Amino acid sequence: MKTIKLALGAFAVLALSAFTVVQSSDWKLNEQSYSVTFKGGDLEGTFKGLKTAILFDEAVPEKAKISASINVNTINTGNGMKNKHAKGADALNAKQFPEITFVSESVNKKGTSYTALGKLTMRGVTKALSLPFTFTNKGVEGIFSGKLTVNTKEYGITKMHVPEIIEINIVASVTK
Amino acid sequence: MTAKRIVLHALISAVLAAIAGVIYKQVYITAFDLHFDSVLNTGGIIGASAFACALMATGYFIGYKWRGEKIFGWLNVVYSLLSFVSILGVLAFQLPMEIDSPELFPGLAIPMHFFPVLSFLVVSPFFKL
């Protein structure tokens, strides 16, 4: 009898802790509702193929883990020739480096916004970068909205007419 | 009489260019399953054909008054060259971001830039002044 009670107790603890882990905010991307846009100089466009892995709890943001990647081949500037040039070897080199990834190492909260410090890998070059973002909690849904400022020269992009500074805006609708 | 013939010339060539443009558009977007209607639709094709042919006819009318019929050859050369130059605008054109496959847009729009001048020159012998 004692053994059964112990087993039931252990099961209850395990079940509750598992439930707590699920509740600790593993946010899944709503693939129909996100946008990744970029702008720099007179160059602007969008990316698709966003993939995310987000562990985030507003109560303990320092424990957050955020990673995101975009598919370089999905770049759309609205002009076919510009798309081709953007994917070229002297620009994003999509053939050799088909993804741009960001992986957070720490997340800080300041007021109502957050900053994820992490590593951005683009064109095979990895650099430390900060990603300021906000999070709108709507219960089981939420919206992450962040902005990356990227210096293209630091990533070896030397192509003419590519602006040195490009801002990448990410708005991602997520669900628990 | 001259003005009437030139207007008829413009009208017939505009209709032919518009028909060619609309048919080409339908074939192209069906073949590639494209959605460029927000930037290039049937109304736009008809309007552009009418505008281009009206412009060429106006050139013919002014040219005829100025130098007579011998100017038409030079005007035809100018119209053809302008059609070639106009494709630069298509190559540089930036589509809205929500439209996929912008690289296929020149294949749709560039041939259409030649339809008005082509139809204008094709029917030209029927409207000799």
In angstroms, rounded to a whole number, what is the distance separating the alpha carbons of residues B59 and B51? 12
**Which 8-state DSSP code applies to residue A94?**
T
Q: What is the pLDDT, as a whole number, of residue A123? A: 94
Contact flag A77-B102 (C-beta cutoff 8 Å): yes
Contact flag B104-A80 (C-beta cutoff 8 Å): yes
Mean predicted confidence (pLDDT) in B28-45: 92
Count of all residues that appear for chain B in the document: 129
Q: What is the pLDDT, as a whole number, of residue A161? A: 81
Whether B20 maps to a domain, the answer reads: yes
Chains A–B, number of C-beta pairs less than 8 Å apart: 33
By CA distance, what is A80's nearest residue in B? Answer: B103
Q: Which domain holds residue B25?
A: 2-124
Whether B96 maps to a domain, the answer reads: yes
Whether B10 maps to a domain, the answer reads: yes
Smallest CA-to-CA distance from A122 within A146, A147, A85, A94 is with A94
Mean predicted confidence (pLDDT) in B22-46: 93
List of domains in chain A = 25-175 (2.40.128.110)
Contact flag B94-A78 (C-beta cutoff 8 Å): yes
pLDDT digits (tens, 9 = 90+) for B65-121: 999 889 999 999 999 999 999 999 999 999 998 888 999 999 999 999 999 999 999
Residues in chain A where the model's pLDDT stays below 70: 1-25
Domain total in chain B = 1
Q: What is the pLDDT, as a whole number, of residue A15? A: 46
Whether B129 maps to a domain, the answer reads: no
Give the pairing type, strands A125-138 and A26-40.
unpaired
